[in-house]
Amino acid sequence: MTITSNGKKIEISGEISVSKLLEEAKVDMPEYVSVQVNDEMILRANFDATIIKEGAVVEFLYYMGGGGC
């Protein structure tokens, strides 16, 4: 099936959980990533239970803190 991940179309084999997608996509520092599926933020506690389906739009987001001036 085809999904969009961070703006790129990718092929994956069947429905997959967010946790498994993080592994298969070899996401850097997965413990620090936030995940949005179809414009909905997914709680880390729900990564295993949230299934990515055909046509989903998935974004891996890193929040970076910055210093002051």
Taking the alpha carbons at both ends of the chain, their separation in whole angstroms is 47
Give the pTM.
0.84
Per-domain residue ranges of the chain: 2-62
Q: For the domain bounded by 2-62, which CATH number is listed?
A: 3.10.20.30
Q: What is the pLDDT of residue 25?
A: 87
Burial environment of residue 39 by CB neighbours within 10 A (0 to 12, 13 to 18, 19 or more): exposed
CA distance 41 to 31: 15
Amino acid at 15: E
- What token pair was written down for 5? 């991940």
Print pLDDT tens along the chain (69 aa).
999 999 999 999 888 999 999 998 888 888 899 999 999 999 999 999 999 999 999 999 988 776 666
